[in-house]
């Protein structure tokens, strides 16, 4: 199975401005529409983005300057 986590984390880390704009537009749409389903989707995506932004990038020991035997 393909591990997509590094690609997703890299995309979110390098495109934080586009992700913020997308969430802002989604929040505006959620406020305009009477349905609560889109409010839940916005809440889920914004919480996920907050968790992804809060995690430090995964580094290999070589990248941190540690000596690996």
pTM here? 0.56
Confidence of residue 69 (pLDDT cuts 50, 70, 90): low
Q: Average pLDDT, stretch 7-29?
A: 85
**Contact (Cβ atoms closer than 8 angstroms) between residue 9 and residue 52:** yes
> What is the per-residue pLDDT across 28-68, written as a single tens digit (0 to 9) for each?
888 888 888 878 888 888 888 777 666 555 556 555 565 65
Q: CA-CA distances (angstroms) from residue 45 to 49, 61, 65, 69?
A: 6, 31, 35, 41
Q: How confident is the model at residue 22 (pLDDT cuts 50, 70, 90)?
A: confident
State the pLDDT at residue 57: 54
Domain ranges of the chain: 5-54
């Amino acid at each position: 199975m393909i591990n997509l986590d590094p690609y997703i984390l890299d995309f979110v880390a390098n495109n934080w401005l586009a992700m913020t704009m997308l969430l802002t537009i989604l929040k505006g749409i959620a406020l305009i529409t009477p349905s609560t389903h889109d409010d839940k989707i916005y809440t889920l995506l914004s919480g996920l983005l907050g968790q992804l932004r809060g995690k430090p990038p995964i580094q290999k020991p070589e990248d941190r300057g540690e000596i690996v035997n």
